[in-house]
Structure 1
């Protein structure tokens, strides 16, 4: 009996070792070159949540959500932090420190290696590759922007514009809700805007809100503005047709209220068109 239990335990440990994420040690980290006076841009496929630089010899910032900008600390900056710091003379291929980048679903680490400024092969930007990513376990109900983009692209491939759930027309504009999709705790609105005039349309805002169905007095109207967590295309201008996917965290509202969607043109006397979406339309959402 003990022999059987020992065998089962050994098997479980072996399986666990094969499926677990492998620990990283410094010697196994990929190297990236960095040179004095030249910024290194690390480009992430999803928004960066956190960056760690293991040494004061490196400094950096986040100019945008998907890019980490890192450089070797200037001698003057080092002296301001601590007067006793003396200028460092780096040799080619010196190891400067560890750069850690954390996205929404992964962590990537690199060894920063000094390259002489006379080198013609100095790297100025790198894209984080899949082989450099280690997955981070989050709540299974949460998706990264990269995953939301993939789902939205899958929806775009569907031809669902001919039989919209809702449609409004005014000012030679057509504004339609093609379909509603749901996956996990996320709601995807597939929408198309069509401009039948010869004047191009500049979008000032596309506003989503939950409002009362019947408004007896304007002062009694309770409007709750909603912001999409993600949109596939941030386009602000279209001439004829524009289709986009807007993603929201799961929401509910009573039958006494409706979801209002307002498309507002970027002009003093701009064309504004609005649509009411009943909760029943959300409840009938498709899965994919």
Structure 2
């Protein structure tokens, strides 16, 4: 009986692995990237890059931004073993000089780096990673990449703003509205609008989110827990009249004795500040997309 159960367990494990395993990638099947001495190749990713690997010391690179990997042929090092150094960095047209691996939030892409001499006038200087070059990485199904979060946020922003917002605060010619709350998997999306009825434009110093006690007693300290969005659709820091944005948080909870506090703070010298309190019941009534 134990032998039968053991055999059945192995079969189920193999079946599950066969359904979820990522296809093997052979070097011979990798797409080619041409690279020339003295010219940097910029690899542009559709989502933030988590990791880059250059398989040989003939290549070097860095990440000038979260979505761009810069790769170039390394300079010849000064070495006491001149012959070894010269042979290692001696390239012929069409030579494969390494494998470039780029890992995003939800994919891995790999390329063969092919040497082209400087006489080649059609040297590539930048490429966009194409969908057919990406192999998906199996992550927790509850985790979304920034690209996916942006898509969800764009779906929300294309909806008309609610005529009757869930919450609204007005002060000093400013208005902050919580238009709606949405939930997708383990993420909470806050749809917010900021309005300025004054003739002075508003320069945002900070928009702070925190969970705080509803009642603050003199004998106790206010316990404030700062919350940072994992994504926001628009990083805009300035608006004249109206500004609508989507702020995304990983799922959170807080008791009825606490509330979410949203503070919009202006840069000095004016320093206009407006606060909004959000009850947990407002979060519990979140819509789904």
TM-score (norm 2): 0.89
The CA distance in 2 between the partners of 1:250 and 1:17, in whole Å, is 32
The CA distance in 2 between the partners of 1:108 and 1:217, in whole Å, is 58
What is the CA deviation profile of residues 15-57 of structure 1, one whole-angstrom value per residue up to 9, with x for unaligned ones? x989964322111111111111111111111111111111010
Does residue 55 (structure 1) correspond to residue 56 (structure 2)? The answer is yes
Partner of 2:204: helix, strand, or coil?
Answer: strand
What is the CA deviation profile of residues 239-271 of structure 1, one whole-angstrom value per residue up to 9, with x for unaligned ones? 111111100000000111110000011123311
* Preserved contact between residue 229 and residue 249 of structure 1 (Cα < 8 Å): yes
Describe how 1:122-161 pairs up with structure 2 within 5 A.
Answer: 122-161=123-162
Pair 1:257–1:80, CA change in 2 (3 A):
farther
Structure-2 residue corresponding to 1:90: 91
Pair 1:71–1:197, CA change in 2 (3 A):
same
How many residues align? The count is: 274
Bigger mean CA offset, 153-162 vs 241-250 = 153-162
Partner of 1:228: helix, strand, or coil?
Answer: coil
* Preserved contact between residue 211 and residue 221 of structure 1 (Cα < 8 Å): yes
Partner of 1:221: helix, strand, or coil?
Answer: coil
The CA distance in 1 between the partners of 2:159 and 2:45, in whole Å, is 28
Does residue 79 (structure 1) correspond to residue 78 (structure 2)? The answer is yes
* Preserved contact between residue 79 and residue 86 of structure 1 (Cα < 8 Å): no
Structure 2 unaligned spans of 5+:
1-13
* Preserved contact between residue 109 and residue 129 of structure 2 (Cα < 8 Å): yes
* Preserved contact between residue 201 and residue 237 of structure 1 (Cα < 8 Å): yes
The CA distance in 2 between the partners of 1:218 and 1:210, in whole Å, is 20
TM-score (norm 1): 0.89
* Preserved contact between residue 263 and residue 272 of structure 1 (Cα < 8 Å): yes
Does residue 283 (structure 1) correspond to residue 284 (structure 2)? The answer is yes
The CA distance in 1 between the partners of 2:274 and 2:219, in whole Å, is 19
* Preserved contact between residue 255 and residue 279 of structure 1 (Cα < 8 Å): yes
Partner of 2:78: helix, strand, or coil?
Answer: helix
The CA distance in 2 between the partners of 1:213 and 1:123, in whole Å, is 59
The CA distance in 2 between the partners of 1:286 and 1:200, in whole Å, is 33
Q: CA RMSD in A?
A: 2.3
Query: 1:92: Cα distance to partner?
Result: 1.8
Bigger mean CA offset, 95-104 vs 83-92 = 83-92
Bigger mean CA offset, 58-67 vs 79-88 = 79-88
The CA distance in 1 between the partners of 2:242 and 2:80, in whole Å, is 55
Structure-2 residue corresponding to 1:27: 28
Structure-1 residue corresponding to 2:237: 236
Structure-1 residue corresponding to 2:189: 188
